[in-house]
Copies of this chain bind each other. A is one copy, B any other.
Amino acid sequence: MPIPTNFLSPTRVSAKGRAFSQIQEWIIDGTLQPKEKLNDADLAQALGVSRTPIREALQLLNVQGFVEMFPGVGTQVTSVNKEDVSKILPPLGVLQALAAEHATPLISQDTIDTLREINTEFAQSIKKGDFYSALKQDEQFHNIIVENAQNSYITNSISNLQAHVLRLYFHQSIILTDDSIEEHEAILKAFENSDSETAARIARKNWLRAIDEFYAEQKDRDEK
């Protein structure tokens, strides 16, 4: 799911694992549309495996909030409400803020330099209008901070929310602006000053701002 920096080892990946990754990808990028019915027999044939690994993959996607299961009735992709940006980003914001706070005394100057490079690439992607690359670089930036907080409970909570953010991006609910560029730099400055309180405050603001931008964009569309 997160796959931040390292590739998955090319060791025997299970049929369940392949099914999970593939179906999740299809749901996130919209190949499988919200409310679409998921027939495990069909998916099994499509992926060339039996129904068992499909069933197991769907159950994991269920707890992750990507599919709904109605016992004895059917399984379907969960719906996407664009307004969910305002529901996902607050918890993601406070968790990212906490991660920044905890990472402050642990992060090395080397890592900060790496983050600065990623932020430069992020800025270039934004300028070029390559928002998908920008989103992935933004995610990478924050994931490195999260890793440095060295707290698996924070990491796990965040990675789940992040997958939903990616899905919202594909459904045109997440807008990226260049405000993030200088906020990222401000976080790095706070790290260098060992100012965990400032790092946390800006990190949270960095995520919450996207809510306002979404509604501003919506208003903009409505007026046309």
Contact = CB atoms under 8 A, between A and B. Distances in A.
Interface in A34-73: 55-56, 59-60, 63-65, 71
A90 interface: yes
A175 interface: no
Nearest to A71: B14
Contacts of A156: 65, 160
Contacts of A65: 152, 156
Contacts of A98: 90-91, 94
A160 B98 CA distance: 18
Contacts of A56: 55-56, 59
B95 A153 contact: no
Interface in A137-154: 151-154
B152 A91 contact: no
Contact of A71 (B12, B60, B95, B157): B12
A90 B12 contact: no
Contacts of A152: 65, 87
Nearest to A200: B94
Nearest to A11: B71
A167 interface: no
Contacts of A88: 153
5 contacts: A84-B153, A87-B152, A90-B102, A95-B95, A156-B160
Given A14-B71, A91-B154, A94-B98, 15 more contacts: A12-B71, A56-B59, A59-B60, A60-B60, A60-B63, A63-B64, A65-B156, A90-B151, A91-B95, A91-B98, A94-B94, A94-B95, A95-B157, A157-B157, A157-B160
